[in-house]
């Protein structure tokens, strides 16, 4: 045997030994096929709504009535991929515990039931009232599966949303010129005493008004030459929004797919004025509600009892939603958030915060440290490994340029890095387990310049396969799915210098 042959055999032998020594932590570099064995239950969030079975996308018809937050949603009861859309239904009293109810709206001879909204018709403007309860009126898109034609229709409930009757004269709004004409969001406009509907049409928003929810008059359109136009506009929402002093302005949310800030689906917004018919905005920049890839088609609750702009989105992305490694069900909603107007150095933005109901999800303390530290380490921790926790930390960037939070195990992790000089946060999930192959970006970037205080407060809600990260009380949000192959029991916070930079850190379990 010559020398080269010997070396080859030795090399081969060492490769075999290397592979045999791989433990469960080391399989992250393998393909997504491994994930079949991890299974649904490891990934199903416990503090976010998921359907018991099958496919879900957009939140629909979110309305509060008689002590219950209703969540309807795009639902395919037959499979865990998109298909003929129904409206699934769930209710909650506390925004943490959700109860799934029977399907509310089924496809009919006008088509499938696409996205839409619900209002409480307290004054019975629609004439749908039949008992003692106020009628809930659903305004939704019928999609004809044969030609994809989209029209707007009504359904109503006189028993607190438990049963629904479709209006006999559906559809109530037709447009023969527009192929994409959908997702009506209706609200009551005090000034004009009229219902207002915002509707997505191609890559603009159309505004209609009505006095009875049945007859709609076109008023105006918004969107030409403003904002992002990398895809079709969907699921708009229009509402008044307050700043910390109670001053009001108007916000228009517009989901866009593709063309989001990190590819695929995303939600932009416009701040401006609305007089009951026309929305105007002098905003020059494109603003995004969330820089993660996994918050889409979100809108706010109607009739919210505390007058909050309470928001929830679909926690996925059309680029890969149908392939993620859950099989009996697919998709969760984001945790609800309250939206607020904030002016930073003359610039208006929307900030997103976790609602006070978050306390119903907070469990025992894992760590609390109010002293400055030059590094934080929690290793081999079972709570982290269960994938359900809430982290709050404040990092002082006065003397450092870069800090990093890493949640993972020996061989794979999610890395969240903020660089003060670049003014950018990067969430890197490329080596976090499941590979989001369909979206060419596992590295999510979020531009953010620190305030003069040089402080970055991070609140992070982790629930099995999702991370929702809020920077400085929601000035930026990054929502990202992650599917680890083996438990992530380690969390480390480090900086580019070995000096005191962690001002405070607290980790709590999540429990109901």
- Report the catalytic residues: 58
CB of 183 to ligand FRU, least distance (A): 5
Query: Which residues share a beta bridge with 209?
Result: 196, 217
DSSP state of 450: P
204 lies in the site for ligand FRU, by CB under 6 A: no
Q: Where are the beta strands (DSSP E) in 275-371?
A: 279-280, 287-288, 296-300, 310-314, 329-330, 337-344, 347-353, 362-369
The rounded distance, in Å, linking the Cα atoms of 212 and 201 is 23
Answer for the pair 406, 505: CB distance below 8 angstroms, yes or no. no
The rounded distance, in Å, linking the Cα atoms of 34 and 434 is 9
The rounded distance, in Å, linking the Cα atoms of 76 and 97 is 22
Q: How far is CA 278 from the centre of its chain?
A: 28
234 lies in the site for ligand FRU, by CB under 6 A: yes
Exactly one of 121, 183, 204, 475 binds ligand FRU (CB under 6 A); which one?
A: 183
CB of 85 to ligand FRU, least distance (A): 5
Query: Which one, 200 or 486, has the nearer CB to ligand FRU?
Result: 200
Query: Which one, 233 or 301, has the nearer CB to ligand FRU?
Result: 233
Query: Which one, 166 or 194, has the nearer CB to ligand FRU?
Result: 166
209 lies in the site for ligand FRU, by CB under 6 A: no
Query: Which one, 255 or 472, has the nearer CB to ligand FRU?
Result: 255
Q: How far is CA 310 from the centre of its chain?
A: 13
The rounded distance, in Å, linking the Cα atoms of 426 and 445 is 5
115 lies in the site for ligand FRU, by CB under 6 A: yes
Query: Which one, 258 or 276, has the nearer CB to ligand FRU?
Result: 258
CB of 265 to ligand FRU, least distance (A): 7
The rounded distance, in Å, linking the Cα atoms of 427 and 442 is 8
Answer for the pair 501, 376: CB distance below 8 angstroms, yes or no. no
The rounded distance, in Å, linking the Cα atoms of 94 and 149 is 38
The rounded distance, in Å, linking the Cα atoms of 464 and 41 is 9
475 lies in the site for ligand FRU, by CB under 6 A: no
Exactly one of 70, 89, 182, 388 binds ligand FRU (CB under 6 A); which one?
A: 182
70 lies in the site for ligand FRU, by CB under 6 A: no
57 lies in the site for ligand FRU, by CB under 6 A: yes
89 lies in the site for ligand FRU, by CB under 6 A: no
206 lies in the site for ligand FRU, by CB under 6 A: no
* Of the candidates 8, 39, 74, 6, the residue with the CA atom closest to the CA atom of residue 434: 39
Which tokens is 408 given? 């993972």
74 lies in the site for ligand FRU, by CB under 6 A: yes
The rounded distance, in Å, linking the Cα atoms of 463 and 49 is 11
Exactly one of 50, 54, 134, 141 binds ligand FRU (CB under 6 A); which one?
A: 141
Query: Which one, 235 or 351, has the nearer CB to ligand FRU?
Result: 235
142 lies in the site for ligand FRU, by CB under 6 A: no
Residues 282-311, one symbol each (x = binds ligand FRU by CB under 6 A, - = not), give ---------------x--------------
Residue ranges in contact with ligand FRU by CB under 6 A = 57-58, 74, 85, 114-115, 141, 182-183, 234-235, 297
């Amino acid at each position: 045997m010559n020398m080269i042959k010997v070396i080859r055999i030795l090399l081969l032998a060492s490769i075999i030994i290397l592979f045999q020594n791989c433990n469960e932590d080391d399989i992250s570099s393998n393909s997504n096929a491994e994930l079949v064995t991890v299974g649904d239950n490891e990934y199903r969030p416990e503090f976010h709504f998921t359907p018991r079975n099958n496919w879900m996308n957009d939140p629909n018809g979110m309305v509060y009535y008689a002590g219950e937050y209703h969540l309807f949603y795009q639902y395919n009861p037959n499979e865990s991929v998109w298909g003929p859309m129904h409206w699934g239904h769930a209710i909650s009293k506390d925004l943490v515990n959700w109860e799934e109810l029977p399907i509310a709206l089924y496809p009919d001879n006008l088509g499938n039931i696409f996205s839409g909204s619900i209002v409480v018709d307290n004054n019975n403007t629609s004439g749908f009232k039949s008992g003692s309860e106020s009628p809930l009126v659903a305004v939704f898109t019928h999609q004809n599966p044969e030609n994809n034609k989209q029209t707007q229709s009504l359904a109503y409930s006189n028993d607190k949303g438990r049963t629904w009757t479709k209006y006999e004269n559906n559809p109530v709004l037709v447009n023969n010129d527009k192929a994409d004409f959908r997702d009506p969001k209706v609200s009551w406009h005090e000034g004009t005493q009229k219902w207002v509907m915002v509707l997505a049409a191609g890559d603009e928003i159309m505004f209609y008004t009505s006095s009875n929810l049945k007859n709609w008059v076109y008023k105006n359109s918004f969107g030409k030459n403003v904002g992002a136009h990398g895809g079709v506009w969907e699921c708009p929402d229009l509402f008044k929004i307050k700043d910390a002093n109670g001053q009001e302005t108007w916000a228009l949310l517009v989901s866009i797919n593709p063309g989001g800030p990190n590819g695929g689906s995303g939600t932009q917004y416009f701040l401006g004025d609305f007089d009951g018919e026309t929305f105007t905005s002098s905003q020059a920049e494109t603003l995004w509600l969330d820089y993660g890839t996994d918050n889409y088609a979100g809108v706010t609750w109607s009739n919210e009892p505390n007058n909050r702009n309470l928001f929830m989105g679909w926690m996925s992305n059309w680029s890969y939603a149908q392939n993620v490694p859950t099989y009996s069900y697919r998709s969760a909603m984001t945790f609800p958030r309250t939206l607020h107007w904030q002016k930073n150095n003359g610039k208006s933005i929307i900030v997103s915060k976790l609602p006070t109901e978050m306390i119903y999800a907070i469990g025992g303390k894992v760590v609390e440290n109010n002293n400055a530290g030059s590094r934080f380490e929690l290793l081999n921790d079972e709570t982290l490994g269960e994938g359900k926790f809430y982290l709050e930390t404040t990092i002082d960037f006065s003397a450092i340029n870069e800090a990093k939070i890493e949640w993972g195990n020996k061989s794979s992790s999610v890395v969240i890095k903020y660089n003060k000089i670049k003014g950018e946060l990067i969430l890197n999930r490329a080596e976090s387990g499941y590979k989001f192959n369909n979206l060419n970006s596992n590295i999510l970037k979020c531009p953010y310049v620190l305030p003069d205080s040089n402080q970055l407060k991070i609140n992070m809600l982790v629930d099995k396969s999702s991370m929702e990260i809020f920077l400085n009380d929601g000035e930026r949000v990054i929502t990202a799915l992650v599917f680890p192959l083996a438990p992530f029991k380690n969390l480390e916070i480090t900086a580019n210098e070995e000096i005191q930079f962690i001002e405070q850190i607290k980790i709590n379990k999540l429990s109901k």
